[in-house]
């Protein structure tokens, strides 16, 4: 979920995708079918949870585990060619094993069943750039030490890390299903509820009883922004549903949290190779942001690197060439427990923000690129609502339904951003007056859709990274993006 700036504030990975990749459907700028993971397994790193969690890991555990899984399958195909008898003998064993590991489609197998050990796959571990090592050492002995120690403690906590990795694995498995099944002709409500039902099933938490939603669930309203709608669109009940078209570019942005540790990750899909270089530009820019980020790195340096890469791309749409522009009024952001937008923001264009990233912090590194103006205006309707930072524990407003609704929001979402669909599945009825009353009293903050100019196209890629002492963990990394 992108962080909005004020208008005047301005706020390993091995591949560098070729803008010319062609395919009928792509997620992450790559044609469908090029990914080994899209073999119906639906499970990244699904090796039963043998990953260790040592700081001296050399990285890519989740990806290695998948590669191992694929290698096992490829290996057995190879040996089957060599000996038919062998193939016959081996088949039942293989079948048994893979069915025990398999995520269903739609995803409904709780993650706990796929990882009986309870240990979830480690994200991609990236070393910090050597240029920053000296300053890192200095910070640790500097004035910020006690603050750092406190944060360090949280990300070094095995339970916290495992919760974070679980949320990330749920994200990977659900998005894998999205990438394999979403097609033009489907409605945005169908896609959104498909994602949300999948997340809840894999977490083993329906989120219907008071307090359940705070244990684990959706991190924010599922974003399904099309074309010139850059961000913050989710289908609302009672509104005319939108049907996905073949020409559409769709940003899929959803969050998963476990005990308040939110994974915020997004990708873009298109069904027409025309947009491949737009998707490739934004994916490259996001990966550049991830590569540049680190302990003691200035935010202005991350922004500059992102902008340079993004602006090196152009996209030809129906005979006209457009430069890919970074969107100026959206930002990457830090993430706090139960709070999707912390205090720090990472714009995608040159700025003078001297603030540094710090050890123990969690960041959503995301970028948006567009063929439009590179600035957004608010669109119609509301995407979601979040408690204002100054919201009181209890309210006593003249409207009784507002007070009742407030209690429901506190119990089920706390400071997590939610949407009207989430209220309705809890059984809330005739809540609109109460909702508007909480907004007009400054207790709830509304988030509106953000639009570039009509006719333009925009894309988004986003990962959540943990700035741990020894390395940055790209917790939401998969073999898709």
CA distance 347 to 472: 20
- Looking at the Cβ atoms of 119 and 264, the one nearer to Co ion is 264
8 Å CB contact between 465 and 472: yes
Please tell me whether 56 is known to bind a ligand.
no
Rg, C-alpha atoms of the chain:
22
Q: Which stretch binds Co ion (CB under 5 A): 39-47, 259-267, 275-283, 285-293?
A: 259-267
- Looking at the Cβ atoms of 265 and 277, the one nearer to Co ion is 265
What count of residues does the chain have?
A: 481
Q: Beta-carbon neighbour count of residue 39 at 10 Å?
A: 12
Secondary structure letter of residue 220 according to DSSP = S
- Looking at the Cβ atoms of 233 and 406, the one nearer to Co ion is 233
* Smallest gap from residue 200 Cβ to Co ion (A): 20
- Looking at the Cβ atoms of 42 and 255, the one nearer to Co ion is 255
Q: Which stretch binds Co ion (CB under 5 A): 23-31, 94-102, 290-298, 356-364?
A: 356-364
* Smallest gap from residue 340 Cβ to Co ion (A): 7
Our finding on whether 331 is near Co ion (CB under 5 A) is no
Our finding on whether 479 is near Co ion (CB under 5 A) is no
The greatest distance separating any two alpha carbons of the chain, rounded to the nearest whole angstrom, comes to 79
Please tell me whether 239 is known to bind a ligand.
no
* Smallest gap from residue 122 Cβ to Co ion (A): 22
- Looking at the Cβ atoms of 132 and 220, the one nearer to Co ion is 220
Phi, psi of 254 (to 5 degrees): -135, 160
Q: Which stretch binds Co ion (CB under 5 A): 119-127, 136-144, 157-165, 260-268?
A: 260-268
Report the residue closest to Co ion, judged by CB.
364
- Looking at the Cβ atoms of 49 and 478, the one nearer to Co ion is 478
* Smallest gap from residue 337 Cβ to Co ion (A): 15
Please tell me whether 333 is known to bind a ligand.
yes
Our finding on whether 264 is near Co ion (CB under 5 A) is yes
Q: Which residues, at least 6 apart from 123, have a Cβ–Cβ distance to it below 8 Å?
A: 61, 62, 165, 168, 466, 473, 474, 475, 476, 477
Of 380-409, binders to Co ion (CB under 5 A) are none
8 Å CB contact between 408 and 423: yes
Through-space distance between the first and last CA atoms of the chain, rounded to whole angstroms: 17
Our finding on whether 44 is near Co ion (CB under 5 A) is no
Integer angstrom CA distances of residue 383 from 68, 198, 233, 413, 446: 41, 20, 5, 15, 7
CA distance 118 to 121: 10
Q: Beta-carbon neighbour count of residue 375 at 10 Å?
A: 18
Please tell me whether 54 is known to bind a ligand.
no
CA distance 177 to 433: 37
Binding Co ion (rule: CB under 5 A), the pick from 364, 382, 437, 467 is 364
Is the CA virtual torsion 111, 114, 120, 126 positive or negative?
negative
CA distance 17 to 285: 11
Q: Which stretch binds Co ion (CB under 5 A): 51-59, 102-110, 214-222, 264-272?
A: 264-272
Of 120-139, binders to Co ion (CB under 5 A) are none
Our finding on whether 334 is near Co ion (CB under 5 A) is no
Our finding on whether 330 is near Co ion (CB under 5 A) is no
Please tell me whether 228 is known to bind a ligand.
no
Our finding on whether 1 is near Co ion (CB under 5 A) is yes
8 Å CB contact between 172 and 476: yes
- Looking at the Cβ atoms of 264 and 452, the one nearer to Co ion is 264
* Smallest gap from residue 415 Cβ to Co ion (A): 15
Q: Which stretch binds Co ion (CB under 5 A): 46-54, 118-126, 128-136, 256-264?
A: 256-264
* Smallest gap from residue 336 Cβ to Co ion (A): 13
- Looking at the Cβ atoms of 196 and 366, the one nearer to Co ion is 366
From the list 413, 262, 272, 232, the residue with the least C-alpha distance to 340 is 262
Q: 465 pairs with which residues across the strands? A: 363, 474
Q: Site size for Co ion, by CB under 5 A?
A: 4
Q: Which residues, at least 6 apart from 112, have a Cβ–Cβ distance to it below 8 Å?
A: 118, 204
- Looking at the Cβ atoms of 382 and 437, the one nearer to Co ion is 382
| Residues placed in the known binding site | 232, 253, 264, 333, 341, 366, 462
Please report, as ranges, the residues that interact with Co ion according to CB under 5 A: 1, 264, 364, 366
| Residues placed in the known binding site for substrate | 232, 341
């Amino acid at each position: 979920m992108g962080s909005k700036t004020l208008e005047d504030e301005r706020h390993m990975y091995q591949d560098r995708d070729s803008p010319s990749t062609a395919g009928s459907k792509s997620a992450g700028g790559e044609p469908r079918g090029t990914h080994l993971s899209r073999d119906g397994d639906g499970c990244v790193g699904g090796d039963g949870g043998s990953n260790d969690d040592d700081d001296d890991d050399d990285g890519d555990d989740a990806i290695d585990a998948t590669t191992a899984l694929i290698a096992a399958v490829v290996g057995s195909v190879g040996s089957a060619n060599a000996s038919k008898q062998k193939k016959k003998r081996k088949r039942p064993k293989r079948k048994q094993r893979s069915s025990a590991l398999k995520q269903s489609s739609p995803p409904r197998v709780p993650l706990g069943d796929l990882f009986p050990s309870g240990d979830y796959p480690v994200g991609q571990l990236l070393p910090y750039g050597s240029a920053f090592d000296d300053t890192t050492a200095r910070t640790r002995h500097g004035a910020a030490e006690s603050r750092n120690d406190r944060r360090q403690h949280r990300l070094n906590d095995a339970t916290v890390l495992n919760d974070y990795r679980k949320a990330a694995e749920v994200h990977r498995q659900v998005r894998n299903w999205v990438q394999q099944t979403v097609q033009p002709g489907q409605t945005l409500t169908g896609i959104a509820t498909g994602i949300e039902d999948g997340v809840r099933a894999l977490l083993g938490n329906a989120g219907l009883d008071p307090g359940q939603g705070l244990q684990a669930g959706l991190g924010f309203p599922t974003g399904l922004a099309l074309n010139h709608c850059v961000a913050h669109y989710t289908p609302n009940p009672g509104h005319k549903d939108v049907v996905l078209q073949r020409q559409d570019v769709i940003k899929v942005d959803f969050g998963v949290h476990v005990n308040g540790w939110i994974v915020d990750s997004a990708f873009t899909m298109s069904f027409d190779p025309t947009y491949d270089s737009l998707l490739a530009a934004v994916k490259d820019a996001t990966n550049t942001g991830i590569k540049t980020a680190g302990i003691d790195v200035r935010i202005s340096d991350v922004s500059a690197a992102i902008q340079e890469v993004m602006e090196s791309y152009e996209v030809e749409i129906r005979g006209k060439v457009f430069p890919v522009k970074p969107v100026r009024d959206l930002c990457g952001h830090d993430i706090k427990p139960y709070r999707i937008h912390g205090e720090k923001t990472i714009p995608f264009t040159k700025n003078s923000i001297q603030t540094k990233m710090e050890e123990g912090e969690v960041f959503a590194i995301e970028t948006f690129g567009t063929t439009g103006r590179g600035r957004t205006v608010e669109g119609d309707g509301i995407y979601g609502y979040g408690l204002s930072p100054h919201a009181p524990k209890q309210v006593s407003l003249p409207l009784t339904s507002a007070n009742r609704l407030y209690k429901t929001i506190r119990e089920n979402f706390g400071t997590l951003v939610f949407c009207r669909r989430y209220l309705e599945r809890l059984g809330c009825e005739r809540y609109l007056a109460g909702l508007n009353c909480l907004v007009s009293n400054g207790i709830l903050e509304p988030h509106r859709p953000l639009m570039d100019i009509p006719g333009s196209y925009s894309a988004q890629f986003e990962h959540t990274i943990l700035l741990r002492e020894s390395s940055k963990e790209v917790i939401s990394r998969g073999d898709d993006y």
